[in-house]
């Protein structure tokens, strides 16, 4: 019987430690002291992670065994309870891999209100870790304080800027803001003085002496030049000539290098204009014919830029870090300080109705502050920005963005390529299109580029919103033998099968895909009646693939269920008269 540990090790060997969130330690001499750091790191990191003892951490992850596995399991549980604050209660299993004892401990991410988890002897400031790639990194003191501050609703954006006054706000922008509020809600604001409106919406707040000052949110939303007080609360843009960011052989380091300042509405507009100035256009072939589009859709860029400015961390320790936009020949990267906040995690980005604001006052203000030169506002605050970004990339024939939540920072990476280019379309056509949905084609194209998908990534890439529909579509691809599945349930991952990978190549012509329909007919012709599992064994296919073909062949009238219910293990199948007709063509692989 395949166990959770077997699945984990199979994924580790196939995808690597970073991809599956695993830390591997040989532990031949007992429980290593560094395990505490990994336990802390996983509990503080998005999605948690798994500590595995008894495997070599070199490629291949060979099982080396444990001297006293039972004692090591007890020591690990004791370490979690007594050497970490707060105590952890991971799921610890003891099993065998390649005949050797191995221990695996799954450490879930702690709820926001319980972070950070730290090594008690090192103290909170020195003993708090997070997971970065496949290593444990100690958080700085400021990062630790950020985690503590985010146990509740951060209020840094509502703090008064004590050196600023009303004169530091843009008079024209303030007038537009007040007029918009009065028009949108005359019952509340129609007869109020502008000063009252600014105070009640926390554009102006009291300082320690009782004087009204612009709040940080008010200055960022409506200020003339917020960088007078916070020089690094701005945007930097760098266009690199190479994919690594290194200089060209001729010594060119940057194609463009810009520092963008002003209020958030102006920075967002200028950042978009700067990116477009550095973009070229490409041709997109669709049902409407060939049309020219930007390398990156402006709507996707706009949403990514605004999100980075509005949801960035505004705590004192992060005010020295800019929002960074980096353009490379193959991708665009937008990075901001501060990871995801609240109930939103990396697997639920873009889900309808799921939104959480780190800077609640700032976001609320920008709902009523317009984009320079336009009638629309900077933010909607409806949790739809990520969905709009993904949808616009999909309409442009591009792959989905990649999101990285690093607890103390967040980044969006947009690959610069057409997802369904001519070569990919030709490859998809070679697979056989009957019954395959457009969303499944997108997933296949992504997997062809090396992407490893799970249910959440599938939904984000394809626009499918229901996890059950996504599961059905992925399982359908597995059944068609176009996709291989590793793991099960919530931990299932999907990659392209060898059949699909070789489709359309000379290798595929030398080793054609098996004609499962013909194999099933021949098996039943030889044996008379067989169950699903017996058919799968005879033709050398998975249960899912066999079930897929049995369903199709029953629908086509080629087989019939001879006894039991269709879903019963005892159901046996036999051929119909139609399947026995000698003129049925079986010369080519059936790709339907």
Residue 587's pLDDT band (boundaries 50, 70, 90)? very low
**Are residues 253 and 129 located together in one domain of the fold?**
no
- Distance (Å, rounded) from C-alpha 83 to C-alpha 31? 13
Residue 106 has pLDDT above 80, yes or no: yes
pLDDT at residue 383 in the model? 61
pLDDT at residue 46 in the model? 84
Check which CATH number belongs to the domain holding 241 and give it.
3.30.565.60
Residue 445 within a domain: yes
Of 101 and 421, the one with more pLDDT: 101
Residue 209 within a domain: no
Q: Which of 17-31, 94-108, 132-146 has the highest mean pLDDT?
A: 94-108
Residue 428 within a domain: yes
The tokens for 192 are: 């109020």
Chain centroid to CA 174:
38
**Computed from CA positions of residues 266, 268, 272, 277, in that sequence, does the dihedral angle turn out positive or negative?**
positive
- Distance (Å, rounded) from C-alpha 457 to C-alpha 281? 28
Last residue of a domain, one of 84, 108, 140: 140
Residue 293 within a domain: yes
How many helices (DSSP H) and strands (DSSP E) are in the chain? 23, 23
Residue 448 within a domain: yes
Tens-digit pLDDT profile for residues 507-565: 666 666 678 888 888 888 888 888 888 888 888 888 878 888 888 888 888 888 876 55
Residue 134 neighbours by CB distance under 10 Å? 16
pLDDT at residue 586 in the model? 46
pLDDT at residue 545 in the model? 83
Percent of the chain with pLDDT over 90: 49
- Distance (Å, rounded) from C-alpha 312 to C-alpha 221? 14
**Are residues 489 and 545 located together in one domain of the fold?**
no
Residue 580 within a domain: no
Tens-digit pLDDT profile for residues 393-429: 888 878 889 898 877 889 999 988 778 777 888 888 8
- Distance (Å, rounded) from C-alpha 196 to C-alpha 35? 56
Residue 62 has pLDDT above 70, yes or no: yes
Task: With beta carbons less than 8 A apart as the criterion, state whether 211 and 225 touch.
Answer: no
Residue 197's pLDDT band (boundaries 50, 70, 90)? very high
Residue 37 has pLDDT above 50, yes or no: yes
Provide the number of structural domains found in the chain.
4
Check which CATH number belongs to the domain holding 535 and give it.
1.10.10.10
Tens-digit pLDDT profile for residues 311-337: 999 998 899 999 999 999 999 999 999
Mean pLDDT along residues 462-472: 86
Which H/E stretch holds residue 80?
Answer: helix 69-82
Tens-digit pLDDT profile for residues 560-579: 887 655 556 678 898 888 87
Chain centroid to CA 575:
47
Give the CA-trace dihedral at 26, 31, 32, 35, to 10 degrees: 100
**Are residues 317 and 437 located together in one domain of the fold?**
no
**Are residues 430 and 534 located together in one domain of the fold?**
no
Mean pLDDT along residues 330-348: 84
Q: Which of 262-266, 282-286, 290-294 has the lowest mean pLDDT?
A: 282-286
Q: Which domain holds residue 465?
A: 422-505
Task: With beta carbons less than 8 A apart as the criterion, state whether 22 and 12 touch.
Answer: yes
**Are residues 395 and 524 located together in one domain of the fold?**
no
Q: DSSP letters along 431-494, please?
A: H--TT--HHHHHHHHHHHTT--B-HHHHHHHH----HHHHHHHHHHHHHTTSEEEES-GGG-EE
**Are residues 299 and 407 located together in one domain of the fold?**
yes
Residue 534 within a domain: yes
**Are residues 521 and 448 located together in one domain of the fold?**
no
Residue 588's pLDDT band (boundaries 50, 70, 90)? very low
Residue 192 within a domain: no
pLDDT at residue 129 in the model? 95
């Amino acid at each position: 019987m395949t166990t959770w540990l077997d699945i984990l090790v199979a994924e580790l060997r196939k995808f690597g430690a970073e991809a599956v969130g695993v830390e591997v330690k040989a532990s031949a001499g007992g429980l290593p002291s560094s395990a505490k750091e990994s336990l802390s790191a996983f509990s503080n990191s998005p999605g948690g992670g798994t500590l595995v003892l008894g495997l070599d951490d070199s490629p291949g992850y060979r099982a080396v065994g444990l001297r006293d596995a039972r004692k090591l399991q007890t020591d690990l549980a004791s370490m979690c309870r007594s050497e970490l604050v707060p105590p952890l209660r991971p799921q610890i299993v003891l099993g065998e891999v390649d005949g050797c004892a191995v221990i695996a401990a799954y450490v879930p991410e702690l709820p926001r209100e319980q972070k950070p988890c730290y090594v008690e002897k090192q103290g909170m400031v020195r003993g708090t870790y997070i997971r970065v790639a496949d290593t444990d990194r100690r958080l700085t003191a400021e990062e630790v304080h950020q985690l503590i501050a985010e146990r509740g609703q951060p209020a840094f954006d509502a703090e008064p800027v004590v050196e600023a006054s009303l004169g530091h706000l843009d008079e024209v922008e303030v007038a537009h803001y007040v007029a918009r509020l009065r028009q949108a809600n005359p019952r509340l604001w129609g007869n109020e003085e502008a000063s009252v409106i600014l105070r009640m919406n926390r554009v102006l707040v009291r300082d320690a002496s009782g004087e009204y000052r612009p709040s940080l949110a008010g200055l960022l939303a409506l200020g003339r030049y917020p960088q007078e007080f916070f020089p690094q609360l701005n945007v930097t843009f760098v266009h690199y000539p190479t994919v690594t960011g290194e200089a060209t052989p001729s010594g060119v380091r940057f194609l463009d290098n810009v520092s963008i300042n002003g209020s958030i509405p102006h920075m967002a507009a200028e950042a978009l204009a700067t990116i477009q100035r550095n973009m070229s256009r490409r041709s997109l072939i669709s049902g409407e014919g060939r049309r020219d589009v930007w390398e990156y859709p402006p709507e996707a860029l706009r949403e990514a830029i605004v999100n980075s400015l509005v949801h960035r961390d505004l705590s004192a320790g992060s005010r020295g870090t800019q929002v960074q936009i980096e353009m490379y020949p193959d991708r665009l990267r937008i990075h901001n300080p501060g990871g995801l906040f609240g109930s939103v995690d990396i697997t639920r980005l873009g889900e309808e109705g799921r939104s959480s604001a780190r800077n609640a006052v700032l976001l609320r203000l920008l709902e009523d502050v317009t984009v320079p030169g336009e009638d629309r506002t900077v933010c909607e605050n409806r949790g739809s920005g990520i969905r709009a970004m993904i949808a616009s990339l999909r309409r442009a024939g591009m792959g989905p963005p990649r999101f990285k939540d690093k607890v103390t920072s967040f980044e969006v990476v947009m690959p610069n390529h057409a997802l369904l280019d001519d070569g990919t379309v030709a490859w998809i056509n070679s697979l056989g299109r009957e019954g395959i949905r457009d969303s499944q084609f997108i997933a296949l194209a992504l997997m062809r580029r090396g992407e490893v998908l799970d249910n959440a990534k599938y939904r984000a890439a394809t626009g499918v919103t229901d996890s059950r529909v996504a599961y059905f579509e992925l399982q359908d691809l597995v059944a068609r033998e176009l996709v291989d599945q590793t793991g099960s349930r919530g931990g299932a991952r999907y990659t392209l099968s060898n059949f699909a990978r070789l489709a359309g190549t000379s290798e595929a012509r030398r080793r054609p895909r098996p004609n499962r329909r013909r194999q099933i007919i021949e098996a039943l012709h030889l044996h008379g009646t067989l169950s699903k599992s017996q058919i799968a064994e005879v033709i050398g296919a998975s249960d899912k693939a066999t079930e897929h073909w049995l369903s199709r062949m029953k629908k086509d009238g080629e087989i019939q269920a001879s006894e039991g219910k269709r879903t019963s293990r005892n159901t046996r199948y036999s051929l119909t008269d139609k399947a026995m007709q000698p003129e049925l063509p079986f010369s080519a692989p059936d790709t339907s």
